[in-house]
Structure 1
Amino acid sequence: MPIITRRSLLGAAATLPLAGPALAAFPEQPVRVIVPWNPGGLADILMRALAPAMAQSLGQPVVIENRAGANGAVGTQLVARAPADGHTLILGNAETHAINPLIYPKLAYNPVTEFTPVTTFASGPFVLITRPGLGAETMEAFLALARRQPGRITFASWGIGSTSHLAMEGLAKQAKLELLHVPFTGAAPAATALIGGQVDCMFLNAGPAEAAARDGRPKILGVGAAERIPQLPETPTMKELGLPVEAANWFGLLGPAGLPAPVAARIAATVAEGLKTAQVQEIFRAQVALPVTQTPAEMGQFLATDRDRWGSVLRDLAIRLE
């Protein structure tokens, strides 16, 4: 996962033209944020944490609408066709704006030409977690178990081509494992299946994984971040374990192509202010999500880098979907 520069957005946004008809008329109605995954996943939790603070600043309700399907493509396509006035936004991540174009030849939207970057607001590491009773308390034991049973150890993800899927494929390639993929329609059902013992392991967002592992039954074996995380100080990183798998995701807001720059800047500044509130910070800490602030221009540069990175990953894995 590329490192996202954490700069103060307000100073940068203040240099943009924040006056004029576009900004004066925004927002005229509730702002709708499409979350293109099921409720209960990390993206949904973080966006719902931010929404009240954004609403207070904007003077209009911020309404969250879940439109799941096709690794986030269903909801993302909807926003690409929406009016470019700031009242409809997409919560995007690596899947919607970097991975999907590389694995869906017939994708119904263009992530570069049909969207306006607004801001990235969070980055979250994944951890490798195993089901209760698997009998692998360490990474070494897990690798040995998987090698003894090629093709029989199952791993969950929140969709084919999702970051959770690709992270595990990367681990399997590095460790020379043969694992069986079981995709779900979202992070929440995938995590529920793992905790219930229906699948053996997965790369899961660190917050939900840490909460699930508190009773000691599911086991967290490694962290996909570059450094250990405060909530799991005794858990080594994948790199420390000799498997340098980067497993994380980012979350941000984009509007349709043609979104006026003053509107994008105001939304970005509103998000940055929301990230400062105590309630939002508490929820982010609980979910092991790192707050991030970016200008629209910075997000655009980051998206280009992220697309290049995932392009190199997917060339090795050769995943293509209809």
Structure 2
Amino acid sequence: MPFLTRRALLGAAASLPLAAPARAAWPDRPLRIVSGFAPGGLNDIVSRAMAQALGPVLGQPVVVENRAGAGGSLGATAAARAAPDGSTLWMGIVDTQAINPNSYRGLQYDPERDFAPISLVAHFPFGVVVGPSQPQLRDFEGMIAAARAAPGQFTFASWGVASTSHLAMERILRAKGVEMLHVPFTSQAPAMQAIMAGQVDAMALPAGGAESLTRDGRTRCVAVIAQRPLDILPGAPPVNTLGVDLESGLWKAIYAPARTPPEILARLNAAVREAMQAPAFVEVVRQQGAVPQPSTPEELAALGRRERLAWGEVVRATGAFVD
């Protein structure tokens, strides 16, 4: 057997191909959920509940980053441009994924091209509330009669032009043939504050927010936009029993930036589905009049396509375009 010198051994080792560096197991850093709306509203509440439930499943902290503005579009643009490495998630809603692409001219993101769907979270029904500025109004027909008696003077709030809260009220008003003055706010929380302060007369908003507004009795929920009565808003009839054929609510879903590796997306779908079973998360969703609704990425993608078509018709009918 020939004798190999130390120099020969080193030379042979140097000629071997370099081994690929070991890839760190994902996730290897904290994650963030980007919310396109300010703290205090439903999107913030659900995002934080998801972050708290998802962290233990993934073994990494998950934080919420609020990037409010332009009906959620600023946050959506930021999330779409984030590195597709699994460290950034996006809490998309029907506004950002289906309405804004129809209503906002010059939108800086494409909901289908720029996001990878992970899972639906839930559908949240709406309630219609009348605030303390109209103490004499006790029911839905009273609200409609008051608006008809003073066209354009009865006001309603929303969290932005062409938002679900705006378009839901517009569809009710069109069905009843009345006019109200729309007063848009930057997000749900300041709109609710304006209702409580008597600065605005009415609003359509998620049922959990409607319930919180009505606790002191000064603000009344006169109807729910749902197919059945809601336990958290007892006594409020569904609008489809009041001559308005409408079911409108707010769905929320988890996305990642496009080009996120398939193996990470699969892990995220499984983790999100597990997180939605956490009792604390289930309770938060229940308090908003809903139940968790996990889905496959394919089911979420199909929902987005259907909703963009449906809300496009509503935007064109109401002329709710935003420059």
Query: 1:234: how far off?
Result: 2.3
Q: Report what 1:306 is aligned to.
A: 307
C-alpha contact (below 8 Å) 1:127/1:247 kept by paired residues: no
Could you tell me how far apart the structure 1 residues matched to 2:186 and 2:86 are? 28
The runs of 5 or more residues in structure 2 that have no matched partner are 1-20
For the residue of structure 2 that corresponds to 1:291, the secondary structure is: coil
Match of residue 4 from structure 1: none
CA distance in 1, matches of 2:158, 2:165: 5
Task: Determine the structure 2 residue equivalent to 1:83.
Answer: 83
Matching of residues 132-143 of structure 1 within 5 Å: 132-134=132-134, 135-143=136-144
Which is greater in Rg? 2
Distance 2:182 2:239 in 1: 20
**Contact 2:69 / 2:186 at 8 angstroms: preserved in 1?**
yes
Range moving further from structure 2, 279-288 or 301-310: 279-288
Counterparts of 2:177 and 2:56, CA distance in 1: 51
Question: 1:294 offset after TM fit, Å?
Answer: 0.5
Give how far 1:24 is off: 6.6
Question: Whole-Å Cα distance in 2 between the matches of residues 53 and 290 of structure 1?
Answer: 15
What secondary structure is seen at the aligned counterpart in 1 of 2:215?
A: helix
Verify the 8 A CA contact 2:285 2:292 in the aligned structure 1.
yes
Aligned length: 302
Change in Cα spacing, 1:24 to 1:227, as seen in structure 2 (3 Å) is farther
1:133 deviation in Å? 4.5
Aligned pairs for 1:164-175 (under 5 A) are 164-175=165-176
TM superposition score normalised by structure 2: 0.90
Partner of 1:184: 185
CA–CA distance in 2 between the matches of 1:256 and 1:215?
A: 42
SS of match in other structure, 2:214: helix
Asked if the contact 2:101/2:308 (under 8 Å) is kept, the reply is no
Residue 289 of structure 1: how far off its partner (Å): 2.9
Instruction: Please state if 1:32 is matched with 2:63.
Output: no
State how 1:88-237 maps to structure 2 within 5 Å. 88-134=88-134, 135-237=136-238
TM-score by length of 1: 0.90
Percent of matched pairs sharing the same residue? 43
CA deviation after TM superposition for structure 1 residue 73, in Å: 0.5
State the Cα distance separating 1:105 from its structure 2 match.
1.7
Amino acid at match of 1:104: Y
State whether residues 231 and 288 of structure 1, in contact with CA within 8 Å, keep that contact through their aligned partners in structure 2.
yes
Cα distance in 1 for residues equivalent to 2:204 and 2:237: 15
Matches of 1:242 and 1:115, distance apart in 2: 38
Give unmatched runs, 5+ long, in structure 1. 1-20
What amino acid is the match of 2:321? R
Q: Secondary structure at the match of 2:169?
A: helix
Number of the residue aligned with 1:317: 318
Query: 2:311 matched to 1:276?
Result: no
Task: Describe the SS at the equivalent of 1:71.
Answer: helix
| Kept in 2: contact 1:147–1:178 (CA 8 A) | yes
**Which consecutive aligned stretches of 4+ in structure 1 deviate over 3 angstroms post-superposition?**
none
Report the equivalent of 2:51.
51
Shift of 1:209: 1.0
User: In terms of mean alpha carbon deviation, does 286-295 or 106-115 score higher?
Assistant: 286-295
Secondary structure of residue in 2 paired with 1:302: helix
Q: Which residue of 2 aligns with 1:8?
A: none
